[in-house]
Amino acid sequence: MGLKEFLNKIAGRKERLSHSECLQMLNMVIDEEMDESEEFKSHLNVCMPCYEKYKLDKALKAMLKAKCCRAEVPDGLVEDIKSKISGNIIS
């Protein structure tokens, strides 16, 4: 289900998000496909599994962003690797 379909599904509802809906929203927030809504934040305040997953995912994403950088590689290295991979697939 895409973001638009998900938002249409939960729009205007009076009841709280279900746990599965919250996890789906959590993934969209972590992937920066949507902003954190008040409903999402209030669910995190009462749902420890979602809160823990949210904090872990945010910390992991921040760590990966800090540690992974685009380093320069020697000329021809990318092409050499691609040719070796292609050779292995054909062999």
> Shortest CA distance to 53 belongs to which of 40, 64, 63, 44?
44
> What was the pLDDT predicted at 56?
92
Question: pTM of the full predicted structure?
Answer: 0.54
Q: What's the average model confidence in pLDDT over 75-88?
A: 83
In the chain, the number of structural domains is 1
Q: What is the DSSP letter of 32?
A: T
| Tens digits of residue pLDDT in 28-42 | 888 888 888 777 787
Q: What's the average model confidence in pLDDT over 55-82?
A: 84
> What was the pLDDT predicted at 7?
62
Range of the domain at 48: 3-90
> What was the pLDDT predicted at 91?
46
How does the average pLDDT of the chain come out, rounded? 77
Tally Cβ neighbours within 10 Å of residue 40: 20
Cα angle at 54 between 32 and 44, to 5 degrees? 105
| Distance in angstroms (rounded) separating the CA atoms of residues 63 and 30 | 13
| Distance in angstroms (rounded) separating the CA atoms of residues 38 and 73 | 44
